[in-house]
Amino acid sequence: MFFLAYYLFTICGNLLVVITIIYFKQLHMPTNYLILSLAVADLFVGILVFPFSMAFTVFSCWHHEGLFCKIRGCFDVTLSTASILNLCYISIDRYYAVCQPLTYKSKINYHVIGIMILVSWGVSALIGIGITVAGFNQGKCEERCFIDALISTTLACIFSFYIPVIIMLCIYLRIFLVAQRQVRSIQSTCQSTMSRATVSKMETKATKTLAIVMGIFILCWTPYFIFLIFQPLTFDVTPVAVIETLNWLALSNSMLNPLIYAFFYSWFRAAFRLIITGKIFQGDFTKTKLF
């Protein structure tokens, strides 16, 4: 029952984001296409990876070695990496929007966003196929392929997680510092107590948003990638329960991304209400002003 709720929430949440961005023309902008790409990656994590992971959890991969595990591993690595790289590109987009607003539209346009999306999916596919071909499968590898597995796993972890997370941390730290400086500048010109209180709330909300974004991302993914790096070096058989717990914790980020990157925006919430209540089936709302 738990897995079913997990599965449905991930699919429904990301599908809602996909429909929202595609349907409402006001949301057809470069930034939202990155969010759309992220939602598609997370949607396929729910559709393709979750069933394999649930089967693995229930039956154990050791009883289905070969093609089953290779397919599961390829989907898992490819789609999870695509999700992470899209998150990284979203942080880059936010950096230019906040830190370089005057040149934002010239630097972040449809062409650039298209390249970002293609790179995200292309690199993800290469990593997913590469790590599968190397024979690495959830830390289990025969002696003859130990070196290949160790090298491929280390490189995959570096490009799939460590480099993106370092980029994201640096960017969000920079955004936070710039935002604080802008708030202080505005605050220095405010004369009324109410204005100062409003600015203070803005600063608090910005801080909480950035903390939630990075906090949940790191909480979900760090334990899994630390395990992937160090597990081949232990030469011990890791309990399946530990592997699955870390794997499901990482996959939960695909369930939480719609909440973090979509539900925080008031125009998305307005669009969601129109979709959930079925109003979009009662007329043409594609040109509805959401903000």
Note the pLDDT tens digit of each residue in 63-100.
Answer: 445 666 777 778 888 998 998 999 899 889 988 888 88
Separation CA 232–CA 229 (nearest Å): 7
Separation CA 171–CA 5 (nearest Å): 34
Please give the model's pTM, rounded to 2 decimal places: 0.84
Expressed in angstroms, the distance from the first to the final Cα of the chain is 38
What lies within 8 Å, CB to CB, of 37 at 6+ separation is 82, 86, 117, 120, 121
CA dihedral 75, 76, 82, 88 (to 10 degrees): 180
CB 62 within 8 Å of CB 85? no
Nearest to residue 123, comparing CAs of 174, 88, 72? 88
Supply the mean pLDDT for the chain: 79
Cα-atom radius of gyration of the chain, to the nearest Å?
21
Q: What is the pLDDT of residue 63?
A: 45
Lowest mean pLDDT among 11-25, 206-220, 243-257: 206-220
Of 45 and 206, which is predicted with more confidence? Answer: 45
Separation CA 117–CA 96 (nearest Å): 17
Q: Which CATH architecture has domain 2-183+195-281?
A: Up-down Bundle (1.20)
Nearest to residue 153, comparing CAs of 87, 245, 69, 224? 224
Contacts by 226-231, CB closer than 8 A, 24 or more apart:
227/139, 228/139, 228/153, 228/156, 228/157, 229/153, 229/154, 229/157, 231/139
Residue 245, helix vs strand vs coil: helix
Residue ranges of domains in the chain: 2-183+195-281
134 confidence band (pLDDT: 50, 70, 90): low
Q: Where are the alpha helices (DSSP H) in 108-239?
A: 110-133, 146-157, 163-189, 193-234
The string of pLDDT tens digits covering residues 159-180 is 888 899 999 989 888 888 887 7
